[in-house]
Amino acid sequence: MRRSQEIDATVRAGARSGRSRLVVHLALSVQDGPTTAGFAVSRAVGGSVVRNQVKRRLRPLVAARLQDLPAGSRLVVRALPPAAGSSSAELAADLDSALRTAIRRSAARSAGGPA
């Protein structure tokens, strides 16, 4: 995802799961299609160099996990300020944990159960 409208729609419609370094928003789709991901790294994380470093560390982590998500899903990963000083392993652990929770909440939401 590259357009802010797509990211905003996913944040509004998706199940949210936060950790100390990042927050994920996952919107499951009833339509088949490509699974897409977007990143939101605010100025609170750091200057442009730091923000881009965080995105460069997150991209391969997210790409490796996209095939585990249902087809047509939309994922937004929002980096928090502690992400700037975190290793890729720490980001991966937070991402895995947050995705597990978001998948569970999304499935419960689509089944009509408590989120």
pLDDT tens digit sequence for 60-103: 999 999 999 988 999 999 999 999 999 999 999 999 999 999 99
Name the 3-class secondary structure at 46.
Answer: coil
Domain residue ranges of the chain, discontinuous segments joined by +: 4-105
pLDDT tens digit sequence for 40-65: 999 999 999 999 999 999 999 999 99
**Cβ atoms of residues 6 and 88 within 8 Å:** no
Name the 3-class secondary structure at 39.
Answer: strand
Q: What is the pLDDT of residue 32?
A: 81
CATH topology of domain 4-105: Ribosomal Protein S5; domain 2 (3.30.230)
Residue 28 token pair: 């499951």
**Cβ atoms of residues 2 and 38 within 8 Å:** yes
